[in-house]
Amino acid sequence: MGRIGAEQLRRTTLARQFPRIGGRDPGAVLDLFDHLGPIQSQVPRAPFVTVSSRLPGVPYEVVRDLFADHELLKTTSLRGTVHTTTRADFVRTDAVCRRAREPMLRRELQLEDIAPADVVAEVERFARHSWRPRNDIVDHMQAWLGERGRSFEANTFTGNLFWGHSGLIRRPKDNHWEKRTDTFHRVAADVAELVPLPDPATALAELIRVHLAAYGPVTRSDLSFFFGVGLGAVDAAVGALGEEVVRLTGPANEPLLDLAEPPTDGDPEPGVRLIPEYDGLLVGYAGPNRTRFCAAEHLAGVWSKVNGVFSPVVLADGRLVATWRTIASGKRSRLQVTMLPGESRLGADALTEPVAALGAVLAGEITDLEIARSGLTSRLG
């Protein structure tokens, strides 16, 4: 069992998170998503900013059209949160999530003589052939279950049991995928050519292989958290991968899992990047393990445990050193960067290229930059 130190672990993962992919066309973006695996996306712009942070220079139209053409699919899936995937990863996450959600459906809807699979089948029947608003799906399922002697209070949580089904994809009311909340849902296979659902255990093993290639080395608990499954399912999937997986010892003597032949062509020193909300540099790991790129004392500044919100962050010198936000006015925006406590203030020059990449992928000009440190704010034109 090999040992890996903290600095080597950080550089190893950075090289996987920032693969060297040539081109900035649709194929390059799909290659990126195939490499990174599912991207958490409850903030609409997050998958767009994931692209600009890993493939600077990709224009807005490229990512928008991949969503509009259903080459990139957004759905409620892992851990009941929103993720964007390629078509190949969609069927894998769907297979894993269908099984994981069955106990919740049975418990929350008090299904005694109705199988969870029958509930799912009715959701899919109703949301096939046309885009359905969330309220319509909930109203239909309330009536359907009522006819079978089951009632429930319609609220956001119970609604998510239906329109949050992992076999449905989401879309906004118009083509502004980077801005709008996704309020329409439809069976994915209606609009995208998908392979049949794999066996859930096989799908989980394939997803873990992808995750190790993009986030590894990781712990068993990291995999359990990310995919929303128990440690037993993780162990079975890792066992199915056999000699593809090796075991390492981490900086704090924690056991780690990695690929025996991981990718080696990424960039361990990606420079300054503007990273989106809920980025994999944080959510790719279970809570106690989110200090690979972030000092422990800074976690509260980027991750609110109360509501689970993750801020957009700035990566510099291989660490998360600041948070950022945009303030829009029409198609023009101002970028505010706030350094984390104790971090030296970044210069405007260091942010020139990341700001340009962000503006390109969001189709909006960023005309002003503010960098705050220790409660002081500098305006940089």
Asked if residues 203 and 92 have their Cβ atoms less than 8 Å apart, the reply is yes
Across the range 52-76, mean pLDDT stands at 98
Chain CA centroid to CA 100, Å: 18
Distance CA 53, CA 315 (A): 9
Percent of the chain at pLDDT exceeding 90: 86
pLDDT at 169: 98
Note the pLDDT of residue 381.
Answer: 42
CB 19 within 8 A of CB 35: yes
Please provide residue 155's backbone torsions phi and psi, each rounded to the nearest 5 degrees. -145, -175
Quick check: 305 pLDDT over 90? Answer: no
Q: How far apart are CA 336 and CA 347, in angstroms?
A: 13
SS3 content of the chain, % helix, strand, coil (to 5): 45, 20, 35
Higher confidence at residue 301 or residue 292?
A: 292
- Report pTM: 0.94
pLDDT of residue 103: 94
If you count them, how many residues does the chain have? 381
Other residues' Cβ atoms within 10 Å of the Cβ of residue 117: 11
Residue whose pair of structure tokens reads 């209606």 in the numeric block: 190
Residue ranges of the alpha helices (H) in 185-335? 188-191, 200-215, 220-227, 231-241, 280-283, 299-302
123 vs 167: CA distance, rounded Å:
9
Asked if pLDDT for residue 96 goes beyond 60, the answer is yes
Other CB atoms within 10 A of residue 159 CB: 18
Look at 58-67, 283-292, 368-377 and tell me which has the smallest mean pLDDT: 368-377
pLDDT value at residue 258? 98
Question: What token pair was written down for 112?
Answer: 């005694």
Distance CA 120, CA 116 (A): 6
**Strand 82-86 versus strand 39-40 pairing type:** antiparallel
Q: Render pLDDT for 273-295 as a digit per residue (tens, 0 to 9).
A: 999 999 999 999 998 899 999 98
Can you tell me the mean pLDDT for 330-339?
87
pLDDT computed for residue 378 by the predictor: 45
Residue bearing the bigger pLDDT, 329 or 247: 247
Q: Distance of CA 134 to CAs 16, 153, 173, 175, Å? A: 37, 15, 12, 18
Q: For residue 150, is pLDDT > 80?
A: yes
List the helix and strand counts (H, then E) for the chain. Answer: 15, 17
pLDDT band at 307 (very low <50, low <70, confident <90, very high): confident
What are the angstrom distances between the C-alpha of 122 and each of 94, 117, 138, 144?
16, 9, 12, 8
- Average of per-residue pLDDT values in the chain: 94
- The tens digit of pLDDT for each residue in 109-130 reads 999 899 999 999 999 999 999 9
Per-residue pLDDT, 1: 61
First to last CA, the chain: 52
Rounded to 5 degrees, φ, ψ at 127 are: -95, 20
- pLDDT (0 to 100) of residue 380: 44
Q: What is the pLDDT of residue 263?
A: 93
For residues 301 and 363, what is the distance between their CA atoms, to the nearest angstrom? 28
333 pLDDT exceeds 70? yes
Element (H, E) at 371: strand 365-373
**What does DSSP say about strands 184-187 and 376-380: parallel, antiparallel, or unpaired?**
unpaired
Determine which of 38-42, 100-104, 153-157, 277-281 has the lowest per-residue pLDDT on average: 153-157
CA distance 181 to 163: 14
Tokens of 25: 């066309």
pLDDT at 377: 46
Three-state DSSP class for residue 19: strand
